[in-house]
């Protein structure tokens, strides 16, 4: 049996044959280039494919000036790639015939598989046929593959119907054919270009991460744009993203389909509010993938990361320096920078003093500046003040904000602006008052590493991606802790307590009382007051049902409280949990849930009844590191409570981080040998003041019943 590394290497070599194909068979091709099954031949020829083309259709003797063959068996040789364009009920036999012929791979354009009712059985047959033939299959229900440098455009999409192709270090992976093609079309129409395009279709055989694994190893890729609806093996994304980061490739994603999926059976609070969007948002961030909110964002992010360097770290008060002609945008730009978390540079005193000498008295020499309209009529003032702002030791990036005649001024100053940016080595954005530069002018600035934006909002959005990219690059390599050995999924309260103890998480003293127990003897050694409540095995959510009674003052009162719990449960023989009360502390929640896309996911947030009210929750896919847990806690509102809110003492944040890592390690140890453990939620976990550690007072465990 091949190991994973060998399998990956084999798949990589087979994908080489797709992206660098030297021969293509078009099975079911039409003689009408306007039809979807006629377009691929026209596109291959129009875009300059230099390899061999083998049309296959018994209706024709030749197509496009090349011989057309009556069957796959009649081909003179096996092609590197077969484009399958036959009816859905003919696809399985066609792919099997390609396998018998020795084809390198198939791209199945045909729809009628998982996306339609009754199509899953056909998809399963396709997957089995591909496996038996040991052949990679793209699709089905896809628009195909582009490889621009190799002039291999195997698609019917209208975006590829062009004679002139522009190459740029941008790859596009999409789970929607139309959207994937539209991104490629915009990049080609704007003369920016792209390197690779894959419409993955239904991912019946190969999935989007298989293509990503190949693409991040290519030397002509700097940016990968991904349109994602869902992942079948999301945990693998973290490994691939780490590899991309090591190769200085930035991943950018637009995620759709953000409804609550696969959570209906969740027992815990955190499981029920773990929407697809929330988990993807946090795990993509964990992976170092920059997330955008629209299709235009995705296209613009390609320009940002293709043509601009990331902001260098400069000075003790580094950030963005704003060279603003109109004073009205000064406060607006500052507000937008704050909204996006972009630092504004603090000018050195020497810069401020020099600017005051150059600018009129009613100008503003502090950052963000107000240079006044006088700089437009005085070229010397414009050049001198811009150089001062740009050369300040704290300038990491530059916004040059023009006024109403901005597009004209930019054309006049184009060469000097480009020269200045090349000299500085920092990203620069030309900003206007709603105007857009002519395409050829904009392209000229892009090639010089200068972006243009219609307004300050667009400029700060670009900068937010750049600063996020810088933060991602600076992250340390992730080294996961060694898994614990021998952990077993707990099924009783006693086992759960032992499970948590192994994870380094303590509990207040507790007893389980049965109806026939001597209460006084059973409660001996407990400090009153206590909490009396139903066991988690009897109720998922006890508070809502009145099954948690606080501040029970004595053993006599415990008898009455236990009777009340049993009555409300409707179980006269139920065991009842008696537990010492925790004196204060910050309430947090710690959980691990199995996510349908990413597998085990660690959940941390503000706990108690606030978990669903405030939804101050964050997620990390396994494996998790201490640095990641620290960063997650730091961006939650929980961190404010832990630091000491309104005069309260600071809580033991380090103990909470240790507890999170311990719980994750215990869950991973179970998952290594048994996937029955679906969730474990500790809510609340009391994070005690000072170095007081943490105490878990409740634990909800969900285990799949034995088959």
CATH of the domain at 530: 3.30.1490.20
Q: What pLDDT shows up at residue 9?
A: 62
Angle at 697 between CA 690 and CA 588, to 5 degrees: 55
Round to whole Å and give the CA distance between 695 and 507: 5
Q: Is residue 484 part of a domain?
A: no
Q: What pLDDT shows up at residue 451?
A: 96
Mean pLDDT along residues 613-626: 90
Round to whole Å and give the CA distance between 461 and 294: 12
User: Has residue 588 got a pLDDT over 90?
Assistant: yes
User: Has residue 478 got a pLDDT over 80?
Assistant: no
Q: Is residue 561 part of a domain?
A: yes
Q: What pLDDT shows up at residue 67?
A: 97
Q: Domain end: 519, 547, 580, which one?
A: 580
User: Has residue 269 got a pLDDT over 60?
Assistant: no
Q: What pLDDT shows up at residue 648?
A: 87
Mean pLDDT along residues 341-350: 96
- Of 249, 233, 152, nearest to 198 (Cα)? 152
Of the pLDDT bands very low, low, confident and very high (cuts 50, 70, 90), residue 480 is low
Q: What pLDDT shows up at residue 405?
A: 86
Q: What pLDDT shows up at residue 479?
A: 66
Same domain, 576 and 594: no
Of the pLDDT bands very low, low, confident and very high (cuts 50, 70, 90), residue 265 is very low
Integer angstrom CA distances of residue 626 from 177, 195, 404, 629, 662:
39, 37, 51, 5, 11
- Cis previous bond, 529, omega within 30: yes
Please enumerate in sequence order all residues whose Cβ is within 8 A of that of 681, keeping only pairs 6 or more positions apart, or say none: 267, 268, 269, 270, 271, 589, 590, 591, 593, 603, 699, 700
Same domain, 611 and 631: yes
Tell me the longest C-alpha to C-alpha distance in the chain.
98
* CATH number for the domain harbouring residue 221: 3.40.50.720
Mean pLDDT along residues 81-90: 97
Q: What pLDDT shows up at residue 270?
A: 43
Q: Is residue 300 part of a domain?
A: no
Among 141-150, 443-452, 481-490, 608-617, whose mean pLDDT is lowest? 481-490
Q: Domain end: 559, 580, 601, which one?
A: 580
Q: Is residue 674 part of a domain?
A: yes
- Of 460, 539, 449, 450, nearest to 493 (Cα)? 539
* CATH number for the domain harbouring residue 337: 3.40.50.261
Domain that holds residue 345: 309-473
Share of the chain above pLDDT 90, in %: 73
Of the pLDDT bands very low, low, confident and very high (cuts 50, 70, 90), residue 692 is very high
Q: What pLDDT shows up at residue 615?
A: 84
Strands 23-27 and 81-84, how do they pair? Answer: parallel
Number of domains the chain is built from: 4
How far is Cα of residue 702 from the mean position of the Cα atoms in its chain?
A: 27
β-bridge partners, 431? 401, 453
User: Has residue 542 got a pLDDT over 80?
Assistant: no
Round to whole Å and give the CA distance between 225 and 594: 27
Q: Domain end: 548, 564, 580, which one?
A: 580
Tokens at 531, concatenated? 């909490």
Mean pLDDT along residues 483-488: 71
Q: What pLDDT shows up at residue 275?
A: 58
Q: Where does 341-482 have alpha helices with state H?
A: 349-358, 374-377, 379-390, 406-412, 414-424, 439-447, 456-473
Helix H or strand E segment including 607: none
Please provide the average confidence, as pLDDT, over all residues in the chain.
Answer: 90
Same domain, 31 and 115: yes
Of the pLDDT bands very low, low, confident and very high (cuts 50, 70, 90), residue 261 is very low
Among 67-76, 391-400, 484-493, 548-557, whose mean pLDDT is lowest? 484-493
Among 143-147, 165-169, 420-424, whose mean pLDDT is lowest? 420-424
Q: What pLDDT shows up at residue 8?
A: 59
Round to whole Å and give the CA distance between 310 and 248: 11
Round to whole Å and give the CA distance between 342 and 344: 7
Same domain, 571 and 632: no
- Three-class SS state of 202: coil
Round to whole Å and give the CA distance between 668 and 687: 23
Angle at 666 between CA 661 and CA 670, to 5 degrees: 145
Of the pLDDT bands very low, low, confident and very high (cuts 50, 70, 90), residue 245 is very high
User: Has residue 380 got a pLDDT over 90?
Assistant: no
Q: What torsion do the CA atoms of 116, 117, 123, 124 make, to the nearest 10 degrees?
A: 160
Asked whether 507 and 531 are in contact (CB, 8 A), the reply is: no
Q: Is residue 375 part of a domain?
A: yes
327 vs 612, more confident:
327
Round to whole Å and give the CA distance between 428 and 410: 13
Q: Is residue 479 part of a domain?
A: no
């Amino acid at each position: 049996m091949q190991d994973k590394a060998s399998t990956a290497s084999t798949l990589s070599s087979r994908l080489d044959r797709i992206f660098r194909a030297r021969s293509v068979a078009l099975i079911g091709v039409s003689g009408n280039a306007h039809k979807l099954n006629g377009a691929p031949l026209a596109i291959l020829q129009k875009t300059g494919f230099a390899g061999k083309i083998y049309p296959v259709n018994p209706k024709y003797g030749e197509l496009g000036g090349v011989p057309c063959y009556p069957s796959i068996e009649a081909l003179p040789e096996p092609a590197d790639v077969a484009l399958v364009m036959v009816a859905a009920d003919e696809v399985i036999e066609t792919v099997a015939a390609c396998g018998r012929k020795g084809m390198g791979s198939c791209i199945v354009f045909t729809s009628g598989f998982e996306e339609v009712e009754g199509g899953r059985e056909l998809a399963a047959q396709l997957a089995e046929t591909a496996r038996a033939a040991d052949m990679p299959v793209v699709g089905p229900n896809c628009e195909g593959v582009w490889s621009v440098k190799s002039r291999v455009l195997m698609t019917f999409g209208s975006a590829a119907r062009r004679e002139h192709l522009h190459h740029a270090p941008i790859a596009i992976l999409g789970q929607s054919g139309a959207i994937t093609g539209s991104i490629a079309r915009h990049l080609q129409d704007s003369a920016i270009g792209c390197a690779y395009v894959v419409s993955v279709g239904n991912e019946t055989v190969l999935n989007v991460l298989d293509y990503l694994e190949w693409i991040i190893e290519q030397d002509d890729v700097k940016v990968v744009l991904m349109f994602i609806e869902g992942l079948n093996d999301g945990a693998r994304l973290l490994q691939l993203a780490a590899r991309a980061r090591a190769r200085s490739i930035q991943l950018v994603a637009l995620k759709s389909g953000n409804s609550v999926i696969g959570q209906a059976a969740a027992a815990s609070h955190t499981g029920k509010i773990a929407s697809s969007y929330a988990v993807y948002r946090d795990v993509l961030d964990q992976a170092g993938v920059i997330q955008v909110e629209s299709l235009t964002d995705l296209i613009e992010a390609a320009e940002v990361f293709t043509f601009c360097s990331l902001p260098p770290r400069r000075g003790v008060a580094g950030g963005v320096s704003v060279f603003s002609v109109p004073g009205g945008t000064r406060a607006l730009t500052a507000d937008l920078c704050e909204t996006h978390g972009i630092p504004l540079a603090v000018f050195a005193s020497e810069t401020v003093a020099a600017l005051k000498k150059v600018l009129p008295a009613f100008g503003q020499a502090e950052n963000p500046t107000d240079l006044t309209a006088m700089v437009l009529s005085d070229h010397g003032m414009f050049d001198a003040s811009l150089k001062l702002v740009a050369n300040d030791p704290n300038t990491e990036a530059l916004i040059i904000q023009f006024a109403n005649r901005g597009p004209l001024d930019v054309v006049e100053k184009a060469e000097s602006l480009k020269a200045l940016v090349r000299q500085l080595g920092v990203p620069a954005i030309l900003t206007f008052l709603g105007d857009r530069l002519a395409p050829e002018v904009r392209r000229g600035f892009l090639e010089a590493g200068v972006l243009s934006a219609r307004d300050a909002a667009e400029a700060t959005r670009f900068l937010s991606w750049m600063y996020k990219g810088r933060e991602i690059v600076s992250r340390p390599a992730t080294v996961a802790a060694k898994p614990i050995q021998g952990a077993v999924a707990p099924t009783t309260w006693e086992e759960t307590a032992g499970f948590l103890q192994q994870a380094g998480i303590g509990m207040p003293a507790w007893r389980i009382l049965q109806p026939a127990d001597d209460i006084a003897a059973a409660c001996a050694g407990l400090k009153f007051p206590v909490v009396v409540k139903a066991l988690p095995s009897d109720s998922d959510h006890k508070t809502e049902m009145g099954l948690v009674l606080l501040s029970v003052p004595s053993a006599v009162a415990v008898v009455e409280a236990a009777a009340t719990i049993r009555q409300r449960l409707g179980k006269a023989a139920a065991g009842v949990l008696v537990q010492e009360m925790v004196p204060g502390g910050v309430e947090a929640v710690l959980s691990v849930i199995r996510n349908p896309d990413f597998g085990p996911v660690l959940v941390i947030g503000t706990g108690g009844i606030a978990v669903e009210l405030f939804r101050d929750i964050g997620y990390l896919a396994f494996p998790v590191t201490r640095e990641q847990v620290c960063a997650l806690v730091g961006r939650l509102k929980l961190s404010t409570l832990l630091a000491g809110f309104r005069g309260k003492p600071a809580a033991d944040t380090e103990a909470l981080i240790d507890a999170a890592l311990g719980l994750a390690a215990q869950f991973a140890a179970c998952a290594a040998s048994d996937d029955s453990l679906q969730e474990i939620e500790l809510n609340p976990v009391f994070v005690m003041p000072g170095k007081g550690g943490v105490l878990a007072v409740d634990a909800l465990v969900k285990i799949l019943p034995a088959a």
